[in-house]
Chain A
Amino acid sequence: MTMVYAAPAADLPAPTPRQLAAPAGVGDKIFTRVTLLTGLIVLGVMAAVGLFLSIEASQALRSTGTSFLTTSEWFPDRNQFGIAAVLTGTVAIAVVAVGIALPLSMGTALFITQVAPPKLRSTLVSLVDLMAAVPSVLYGLWGLFFFQGQVIGVSRWISTWFSWIPIFRVTGAEPGSPLSNQTVFTASAFIAGVVVSLMVMPIQCSIMREVFSQVPIGEREGAYALGATRWGMIRIVALPFGRGGIIGGTMLGLGRALGETIAVLLIISPRFDINFHILEAGGNSVSTLIALRYKEATGFGLSALMAAGLALFALTLVVNFTASAFVARSRSGASSEA
């Protein structure tokens, strides 16, 4: 707000703009430098991890070339190794996990924000956060010792009735024979995926809940005023509003599912062939491979593991950045009172 006065007397010096920024004191100089240094240290450490992985991996990648992507065996000493099997295994587990976690987390997020009585809400939010804080090894224990025994019957049922869908086929299963071997269904990508879905679900749920809770109250009440039922309001207002959050949250969960190690390691029995039959015993993932093989790896073997790890990291990185782009571009946070 500038005020204009009458023309100043001619003999006054022409006004010059005031210096607005005060010179930083010693304390501030030190403060700025220290925080900048910390930022750079963090940047350095984080960049070092990525760079080191790439440099170490390059040795293995150079010696195999593109066959790294197409080979499914893992014999670094014979220079015959690739991530075709482990990467597809990782993706299979992650897809099962997200496929189960997506409806669960979306339902829970909608229930917490739109359906549950307000008094219950903070308790439910705490429970979801608690689910995220439970260590993954405990989910692994639960999956291995408890859930596997419960779910085998369902695996068998699906494979009996739906084996005409290729991914549900199980070799070695004899439908109809009640005495057929149960072990063909254990340690499968499906079971690992279900357990990982429990770890992924709270991450997805908290992001979706955040977005759904920002649904503009005016639009919600507008929908009700036009006679919408609660589900009608959710379908017409909440879901379109939260689309970015749903996609972003799902992909963040996918990133976590791709990298999960210990629960998968406990449950799955490793195998090195491309296996899309998710109900069948055995599977593999990149992180399981690293956890199993790092000990006996020689220098070159370690480089090969690094290359596999780098491929996984590249995948999770792409997934994560896509996710944050979706979350940032969604309408959530933007006010819509118009």
Chain B
Amino acid sequence: MASPDQSELSRSVRQTHRRLRRLIGLGSLLLVLLLVRIGWMQTIHTEHFTSLSTDNHLRQIPVAPSRGLISDRHGVLLADNSVQYNLSLIPSQVDDLDTTISQLRELADIHDREVRQFQQRGQSRKFETTPLKIDLSEETIAQVAVKLHQLPSVYLEAYAARRYTYGKSTAHVLGHLASISKKDRERIDLYRYRGTRRIGRAGIEHQYESLLLGTPGLQQAEVNAQGRSLMLHDRKSPTPGSNLILTLDAGLQKVASEAMAGMEGAIVAIEPFTGDILALVSAPSFDPEVFGHSINPDDYQSLIRDPQNPLLNRAIQGQYAPGSTIKPFVALAGLESGHAIPDKQFYAAPQFNIPNYRRPFRDWKDEGHGWVTVSSSITQSCDVYFYSLAYRMGIEALAPFLGRFGLGQAQQLDLPGELPGLLPNEAWKRKTYSQPWYPGETVIMGIGQGYLLLTPLQLAAATATLATRGIRMKPRLLRAYDQDGEVIKSPPEEIGRVTLSNPAWWDLVTNAMVDVVHAPNGTARRSGLNAAYRIAGKTGTAQVINYGEKRPDSDDLPENIRDHSLFIAFAPAEAPKIALAVIVEHGGHGSTKAAPIARRLLDAYLLRSL
């Protein structure tokens, strides 16, 4: 290669320099263009990017309001909130679930079932904290808290759990909370449920959900790219839900619930002149906290498969033949329609016959009651008298009169799921069975059998109407609630009045009912012994199956077809403070099971306040 001479070299150096100038010049131009572009972004579009930047690191985190507390008429707390801790994961952040779980198993007792549940739940909410183990023990919380920094996807999540002070005994009245379902989501205002995971599923919790819920607050959290909160700023505090004051008397509710232990049935106690429900019990019951955060499927299955059906609220959903507890009402119907005359003697044979009808209607007393009046027929529960009275009145007079007491109608109690029962009449029979009404069906309705079906609530409300001498108060559970620091009372509401041509007939029936409990020939005399006040009551024994002509002794029957035992009462008879209905399924005669329970309740309620 020939060595280039000096002038050629210097020309080439000049050329190279020119090329470098051009190349660097081109690059500089591009760099300036980039600067212009950046200037554009940082001036004209900066607001757009600033808001993106702010959204990036500030998250609005809804803060669930604390649910309203529920207390009884004396301020005794029935439902409140307590803090529980969950061990939660954000599924999208978990790289290796098996490893994470085996790490966590060293700290907490985690069942395979909980892992499966977590996986199910996690599928639909990959970016939210999803509980793996709920309601940690103090010890576990401490152990997890120490190791938390080593477990980046794991969170200790505090949440408010609902506690029911009286547990099982108020389960049917208060209801429970459940996870918000897909169906709920379509119905509710999702904005109000931001941060809230559970919703009132039954009972008062469901009925007054919108009062109890409250309004969510907002917190602003500075979060990093992993979504972990670094700092929290308060923006808007949540508004707690309204506290409810119920008409219940917690003490009485507890006594009622204990009195029903091991039995199936219901108790409803009402304050007659206000309609306040003092106690409402359905047995058997269940633990409402089982539903607490997320019900264990096994527990749920055993609840719904239980042949005793503990989830059924028998007090408002159980429909029973009232048996002889209907007799005071039938007596009033007879007096009002003129088919029963006070003090008029009636000979009660062992059985009652309808003309041209072969089948006799037998009295429960084989030898018959002999000479009776309308009053003594109530006291002794004489079937034949009421067969005859009902037959003479006819269904067209009897059914509408019973309807005036609200029987066979939903009582509009502020509790979801109430059933109406059935007050049959000719039109109903034709519509349902395409058959005429037979006179024999009126006859047995006189003693509360046949098609007639009442809920314990209806029976208690009708008994309260006896106590008020015709004033029908709307049964209610909510007495008052607070809102924005103000107590809003819900006043008692009269929904109708049963008027009689002669008000003295109220006294006649009340006195006959007092005799049921206190007279030597009363059917519930054993339950009236040594009472410090006077009780007006009526026993009832409802047949579960039709035995035909001869009615066997209840005690000889297997339990599942044994008669239901019923009792209605109000007391003190002169100035009633409480009216109630007690039903014990397959409890036999009204005087054996239901009446003693009623006495226990009356003592508890009336003597405590004396």
> Do A and B interact?
no
> Which residues of B are in contact with A by a Cβ distance under 8 Å?
none
Residues of A at the B interface (CB closer than 8 Å) are none
